Amino acid sequence: MSQPEFICVRCSKHQETCCQTSEVYTTLGDIRRIQEYTGKDDFYEDKLPCDPVYTKHDDDPIWYETAMQPDGKRRVLKRRENGDCTFLGSAGCVLPMETRPILCRLYPYDFNQTGIKTYLANGCPMELLQNGESLVLALDMNKKDAERWHHMLYQEILEEPHYQAKQSAKLPAQE
Ligand code: SF4
Ligand code: SF4
């Protein structure tokens, strides 16, 4: 019996995928890794969130202080006119896993600063899972990688220049 297609391939035939509908926040670390891999630096922009859902992080105050800039913008990957991510190719993402923005690697794990949550984010077509398949297994994801990426993410969001400037302003002046 032939193997079913990878869940993301099945998804792309069924609905718009996460790479076609998401606005992806990128850390400065993401930018460095992608620049190193692609040799380009024109793939991101600062932008007000296209969907209010990106501003809802009530259980994650550090996210507001870092990923969200004081003017409400976020550093995100550019998208094409049709909404596709600039790195979406005909066979999926053109970036290797460890070069993709950390948020892409973590999806659909949901999380806050404390850690990975016990439930997954909405968006993947659960109706395409076969014979009791779990989504995490179908996506070939594992918790160990997710925890490593989560740690990286919360280290890298602290590098945001506006956050660093705020932290420096809190330090007592040197004599
Ligand atoms: S991660 Fe989920 S939403 Fe994204 S392409 Fe795969 S199945 Fe679809
Ligand atoms: S960087 Fe890759 S995985 Fe992330 S949204 Fe773009 S195409 Fe999808």
Question: In which element (H, E) is residue 167 found?
Answer: helix 161-170
DSSP string, 33-51: HHHHHHS---SEEEE--SS
Q: Tell me what pLDDT residue 175 has.
A: 59
Please work out whether the CB of residue 22 comes within 6 Å of at least one atom of ligand 1.
no
**Does residue 135 have a pLDDT over 70?**
yes
Of 26-35, 40-49, 75-84, 159-168, give the lowest mean pLDDT range. Answer: 159-168
For helices 143-156 and 28-38, what crossing angle results, to 10°?
110
Q: Tell me what pLDDT residue 2 has.
A: 67
Predicted confidence (pLDDT) per residue in 1-26, tens digit? 567 789 999 999 999 999 999 999 99
Please work out whether the CB of residue 120 comes within 6 Å of at least one atom of ligand 2.
no
> Which ligand 2 atom is nearest residue 85's CA?
6
Q: What percent of the chain has pLDDT above 90? A: 80
Name residues whose C-beta falls within 8 Å of residue 46's C-beta, 6 or more positions apart in sequence. Answer: 69, 73, 74, 75, 76
Please work out whether the CB of residue 103 comes within 6 Å of at least one atom of ligand 2.
no
C-alpha span between 135 and 149 (Å, rounded):
19
Please work out whether the CB of residue 18 comes within 6 Å of at least one atom of ligand 1.
yes
Indicate the pTM of the whole model.
Answer: 0.93
Q: What percent of the chain has pLDDT above 70? A: 98
Mutate to test the pocket of ligand 2, among 37, 95, 107, 140 (most ligand atoms within 8 A of CB): 95
Question: Mean pLDDT, the chain, as a whole number?
Answer: 93
Distances (CA, A) of 105 to 1, 110, 125: 30, 11, 18
Please work out whether the CB of residue 19 comes within 6 Å of at least one atom of ligand 2.
yes
Domain ranges of the chain: 7-159
Please work out whether the CB of residue 11 comes within 6 Å of at least one atom of ligand 1.
yes
131-147 in b/e form (b: 16+ CB < 10 A) is eeeeeeebbebeeeebe
Mutate to test the pocket of ligand 1, among 7, 122, 126, 130 (most ligand atoms within 8 A of CB): 7
Between the CA of 126 and the centroid of ligand 2 the distance, in Å, is 20
Q: Look up tokens 């969200």; give the residue.
A: 68
